[in-house]
Structure 1
Amino acid sequence: MTTKTTDGPALSDASLSRMVENLKKVEQLTERLGQVMAHRQTHRQALDGPNQELFAKAQQAYLTEAMTNPAKLMEHQMSFWTRTMTHFVEAQQALAKGTLTAPEDNTPSDRRFANPLWQTHPYFNFVKQQYLINAQALEQAVEDVTDMEPREKKRLAYFSRQIIDMMSPTNFLATNPDALERAIETEGESLVKGIENLISDLEANDGELIVRLADESAFKLGENIATTPGKVVYRNKMFELIQYTPTTDKVHKTPLVVFPPWINKFYILDLKEQNSLVKWLLDQGHTLFMVSWVNPDSTYRDVGMEDYIEDGYLAAIREVKAITGENKVNLVGYCIAGTTLALTLALLKQRGDTSVKSATFFTALTDFSDQGEFQPFLTDDFIDGIEGETEDKGILPSVVMARTFSFLRSNDLVYAPAVKHYIMGETPPAFDLLYWNGDGANLPARMAMQYLRALCQRNELAEGGYDILGHHLELGDVDVPLCAVACETDHIAPWKDSYRGVRQMGSTDRTFIMTQSGHIAGIVNPPSKKKYGHYVNPSLEADHEGWLEGAKFHEGSWWPRWGAWLKKRSGKMIEARNPGDDGRKILGDAPGEYVAKKANH
């Protein structure tokens, strides 16, 4: 015997029985979910969104607009009412015909609504169209607010967009045809797996919901990710220093030291052999050292930017010089490590230390006068919340930063994977880049607040100078030959802001390259992929618009261009150096111990 659902597949009695059993499992798992949430580690509410002051100001501004320009307000209200009623009437007319077909749909293309049922099924089509009408009305309401400071209005627009994205019908089982079809096809098993995935993610983050983007069981450091051979040749409380095994008989005399960001792990530059910048640099004949930062716990509460400079950058430079017997090194700083590299170079200039031959900056900001998409998170209410969190825990937990970065691209990095993971019951993909993205690191309390308050909020380095280690540092102090690489669609370190900082540096030898794509894909862009091109303009006299207007586009990766630049500053070729040649004790194999430590443990 079978039962046929309306316009749906025929279900046998056995299938219905299995679905009932699976729904019972869902109920049991829901109880377990409640227990997880009851024991979750809480965080300050200020980290979840703006304080009520922002919405109070928006309400006041909206009321003011209604008083001063009621015709405009009524026009938009009537437009919303008219579209809603017209939509309802069209749906009713379609149903009255008895054909169960959706009305005409001229809504724009949206990959969230790719299932044909969003177009053809009257229920799903009605839900989708009304959602889009509501979304447009809310966006228009925000746009109509005029009596607000631009900074506050930008925040209002951002958080309103978050509400719109969160309320998409694709995010809920009852209004997601893909999820409902999967539940029927799997006899409810997809719902069981989805709840299990949700509980697993909550348990992994002490009750904080961070959507797992990759199958973590598919990767193991040193085995199928971060596999380039090398040795740990130095370790202190801040970092491990990895010296990689050369792949050429001859190497350049001047060694190269890479400082990755300590918000994430270094192996983004060594995911696999095909796209490893580490492997590529070795093949170009460089003696390559990588700094692998410690993943701090609460005992690092009082570690500040001065510790990262003194016991990080300066210690690494000292050790590399001792290992290689050279008196100069080339340096690379990526993201926040590039910001701190600028501080280090300014400090060395004031100390009269000429150890650095050249510096390369990957997607690094040194002028924060335009905070871009991060502006909603750099106001006092949010930073005050972070400060309270760091005072309580001694660290800024990785989950806070991961969530913030994710919500800058919420549909791609939060809701879409959450739907697949929790509603569809799918296992996350075995994707190395997404695995790395989820393997974050904590920040020490003192360092986090120095960075957010002095550098980001007050922009001290670019505007007046930054005081640290007994020196007053300014961007103009950076005078070594430098190459800066920025990414065209980078939402974390916008290329125009990176360019603005480079223009303020004091070096007379400056090269600026803008590559296509974003913060990660633009940097991890091996020549073999032949994927993204790059722009070059030797003149840095104009502002960013003028620079781009005069720039020449080149097909292919920027790596060879930078490689040629670096080669000119790396000295003659000598016999290859191997880890341990200087007689010091080898502390372990790459990728080392520090990189394996997970956040919040």
Structure 2
Amino acid sequence: MSEPSPSSPATHLDTVAHGALARLTGALSPASALLAGLDWGAHLAVSPGRQLALARLAGEQAQQLARYLHECLLAGPGEARALVEPPARDRRFAEPEWRQWPFNLWHQSFLLTQQWWDAATHGIAGVEKHHENVVAFCARQWLDMLSPGNRFLTNPTVLRRTLTQGGTNLLRGMQNLAEDLQRLAAGTAPAGTEAFVVGRDVAATPGRVVLKNRLMELIQYAPTTATVHAEPVLIVPAWIMKYYVLDLSPSNSLIRYLVAQGHTVFCISWKNPGVDERDLGMDDYLQSGFHAALDAVQAIVPRQRVHAVGYCLGGTLLAIAAAAMARDRDERLASATLLAAQTDFSEPGELGLFIDESQVSLLEAQMAETGYLTAGQMAGAFQMLRSYDLLWSRLVNEYMLGDRAPMNDLMAWNADATRMPAKMHSQYLRRLFLDDDLSEGRYPVDGRPVALGDIELPLFMVGTVTDHVAPWRSVHKLHYLTATEITFVLTSGGHNAGIVSPPGHPHRHYQMLRREAGGSYVAPDEWLAAAPDVEGSWWPAWQQWLAGRSGRRVKPPRMGATGYPPLADAPGSYVLEK
């Protein structure tokens, strides 16, 4: 029996049914979770040795907890030695009140339970690695939800605050909750974002829009120095986010910093896609995005090669473009900088938990109805990856302690979310994440596959230590996919805060190491041991790298050119679309 065609009534019925299921489950595949649970449970059921080991661990922990209880009853307040210390990045039990009875017993019991489930969900013989990761992740989510820190009566910090403030903290918390629910129902931005107006407080670096098409606007920034480096800089941000993460407030703006250092800077501002853009694919972002911008930059700054910069998904697009240009002997680029950008997706980190055939097919069914992936779905996935930071700590701080976290420019930008076109997002998930076509030489551009090994440009790459979107070890993999010169930086911070790292920012540091063209491959752990640690921001080191690969300084180019007249002041109109 032949398979039904994509346009057949049977296929349409399945799509409608899967779309309805996606709406019920928040586009999370129940089949994916069920398969992972069955795989783990079935293999654990036929592993009597592992069952005995887990039973023994549970017994040992029960004995430890009983001895700890005895010590607590005999010792003075807060004097009992802790059985388990939280992981280094776990701040839930950092307050001294957690060392007092009975909160010490509760949080120690919770940490022991966390240890047991970590042992129970890892290392079961026969379990597929993806399924193991899904089960372990689900267990962590349930444990995070059940943490004693999340409940009023078992959180000593909340109880102390309530007593000392006579319950006014709870009143403030109720007011915060009511305001948040009201804003959620009205579809308005979170409280405090009104202080960061796009074009006034953020995305405020002076410039002009010099190109506009159905997919993007190209901004040329006004020079602030008498002379500039001859080669311009073209920035390709991700379209999963608005571009101005690179142009936040003046003190945090990477774009403003580059302009002040004498670079002629251009940046793409992507359109926030809707139903009309549902059929835009990766090729459209390559041709109407990167290549259209490159043509404009070269018309405005003729006879100069271009330093191209790509961030996150924009960096992946830049790597694809650079490989295709190398294949076609196109030498218009002087260098490429990839910021938190993956080119090998075989180990994408925890984001891969949400990407398997079952999950992708459910998303595709939902996007077939809407035409795009909503901003809320992407935000929800990231929220689960960092449930303590983005969900539970907020619940405690804002609704129980009554402390509204002060809004900053990065938080306001993060709330200004975007959508993803259905066709492009499906191609991205399938061709890059599921099939890993780019790193394996199967990704086509203009009908022919490209190879990252063809890239001969000098590369500057940045990974961030706590990146949950593009783990730095995954970013580092380009070292074995191409033999070109690579300067790799590993900086403190996460996917966004590690990149937004201006000079003078406290507590910033980075490691940097250069591999010459044709040099030997250095694995991530070896790289980590060999690269020297430097205090401060990585921005000056990158700017010096760009300057060292640029020619003499010249007079700044004019704004726009024939065929590319200035159309509007920066930041343009696309960035304002909701």
Question: Same fold by TM-score, threshold 0.5 exceeded?
Answer: yes
The residue that corresponds to 1:52 in the other structure is: 34
What whole-Å deviation, never above 9, does each CA across 1:336-380 have from its counterpart, x for those lacking one? 111111111222334443322222111211111222232322222
Q: 1:474 to 1:538 in 2, by over 3 A?
A: closer
Native 8 Å contact 2:23 2:366 kept in 1: no
The residue that corresponds to 2:573 in the other structure is: 593
2:74 is the counterpart of 1:74 = no
The residue that corresponds to 1:36 in the other structure is: none
What whole-Å deviation, never above 9, does each CA across 1:384-418 have from its counterpart, x for those lacking one? 33223322321111122222223222222221122
Normalised by the size of structure 1, how large is the TM-score? 0.83
**Of 103, 109, 113, which aligns to 2:93?**
113
The residue that corresponds to 2:129 in the other structure is: 150
Q: 1:152 is matched by which residue type in structure 2?
A: H
Cα displacement (A) at 1:183 = 4.2
Q: 1:392 to 1:83 in 2, by over 3 A?
A: farther
Q: 1:354 is matched by which residue type in structure 2?
A: E
Q: 2:434 is matched by which residue type in structure 1?
A: Q
Distance in 2 separating the partners of 1:158 and 1:232: 44
Q: 1:193 to 1:550 in 2, by over 3 A?
A: closer
The residue that corresponds to 2:316 in the other structure is: 339
Native 8 Å contact 1:256 1:330 kept in 2: yes
Cα displacement (A) at 1:75 = 1.6
Native 8 Å contact 1:105 1:119 kept in 2: no
The residue that corresponds to 2:232 in the other structure is: 255
The residue that corresponds to 2:196 in the other structure is: 219
Normalised by the size of structure 2, how large is the TM-score? 0.86
Native 8 Å contact 1:215 1:427 kept in 2: no
The residue that corresponds to 1:524 in the other structure is: 500
Cα displacement (A) at 1:140 = 3.0
Distance in 1 separating the partners of 2:353 and 2:186: 25
Cα displacement (A) at 1:51 = 2.1
Q: 1:198 to 1:298 in 2, by over 3 A?
A: farther
What SS does structure 1 have at the residue aligned with 2:478?
helix
2:39 is the counterpart of 1:63 = no
2:546 is the counterpart of 1:566 = yes
Distance in 2 separating the partners of 1:102 and 1:503: 52
1:79-228 superposed matches below 5 A: 79-83=60-64, 104-110=80-86, 111-122=91-102, 124-143=103-122, 145-184=124-163, 188-202=167-181, 204-205=183-184, 215-228=192-205
The residue that corresponds to 1:26 in the other structure is: none
What whole-Å deviation, never above 9, does each CA across 1:181-204 have from its counterpart, x for those lacking one? 444555555434434534544555
The residue that corresponds to 1:22 in the other structure is: none
The residue that corresponds to 1:273 in the other structure is: 250
Native 8 Å contact 1:517 1:532 kept in 2: no
Distance in 2 separating the partners of 1:339 and 1:581: 29
What whole-Å deviation, never above 9, does each CA across 1:397-443 have from its counterpart, x for those lacking one? 11222222232222222211222123333323122222222222111
1:380-399 superposed matches below 5 A: 380-399=357-376
Native 8 Å contact 1:87 1:130 kept in 2: no
Q: 1:380 to 1:193 in 2, by over 3 A?
A: farther
Distance in 2 separating the partners of 1:144 and 1:265: 40
Native 8 Å contact 2:39 2:128 kept in 1: no
Cα displacement (A) at 1:521 = 3.1
2:268 is the counterpart of 1:288 = no
**Of 359, 371, 375, which aligns to 2:336?**
359
Cα displacement (A) at 1:135 = 2.4
May I ask how many residue pairs the two structures share in their alignment?
548
**Of 239, 242, 248, which aligns to 2:216?**
239
What SS does structure 2 have at the residue aligned with 1:528?
coil
Native 8 Å contact 2:43 2:126 kept in 1: yes
Q: Which moved more, 1:199-208 or 1:482-491?
A: 199-208
Q: 1:595 is matched by which residue type in structure 2?
A: V
Q: Which moved more, 1:363-372 or 1:176-185?
A: 176-185
Distance in 2 separating the partners of 1:106 and 1:553: 33
What SS does structure 2 have at the residue aligned with 1:361?
strand
Distance in 2 separating the partners of 1:525 and 1:105: 39
2:516 is the counterpart of 1:535 = no
Cα displacement (A) at 1:141 = 2.4
Cα displacement (A) at 1:308 = 0.3
Q: 1:104 to 1:573 in 2, by over 3 A?
A: closer
Distance in 1 separating the partners of 2:259 and 2:246: 12
What whole-Å deviation, never above 9, does each CA across 1:17-51 have from its counterpart, x for those lacking one? xxxxxxxxxxxxxxxxxxxxxxxx94535527752
1:543-582 superposed matches below 5 A: 543-544=522-523, 545-580=525-560
Q: 2:522 is matched by which residue type in structure 1?
A: D
Distance in 2 separating the partners of 1:264 and 1:414: 20
Q: 1:52 to 1:255 in 2, by over 3 A?
A: same
Q: 2:80 is matched by which residue type in structure 1?
A: E
Native 8 Å contact 2:29 2:362 kept in 1: no
The residue that corresponds to 1:413 in the other structure is: 390
Cα displacement (A) at 1:450 = 0.8
Cα displacement (A) at 1:237 = 1.4
Native 8 Å contact 2:355 2:434 kept in 1: yes
Note the residue ranges of structure 1 that are not aligned, 5 or more in a row. 1-40
Q: 1:551 to 1:170 in 2, by over 3 A?
A: closer
Q: 1:502 to 1:60 in 2, by over 3 A?
A: same
Q: 1:324 is matched by which residue type in structure 2?
A: V
Native 8 Å contact 1:487 1:522 kept in 2: yes
**Of 274, 291, 298, which aligns to 2:275?**
298
Q: 1:74 is matched by which residue type in structure 2?
A: A
The residue that corresponds to 1:18 in the other structure is: none
* Identity, % of aligned positions: 36
Q: 2:457 is matched by which residue type in structure 1?
A: V
Q: 1:126 to 1:513 in 2, by over 3 A?
A: closer
Q: 1:74 to 1:502 in 2, by over 3 A?
A: closer
Cα displacement (A) at 1:258 = 0.5
Native 8 Å contact 1:211 1:417 kept in 2: no
Distance in 1 separating the partners of 2:78 and 2:365: 52
Distance in 1 separating the partners of 2:234 and 2:340: 17
Cα displacement (A) at 1:332 = 0.6
Q: 1:195 to 1:147 in 2, by over 3 A?
A: farther
Cα displacement (A) at 1:317 = 0.8
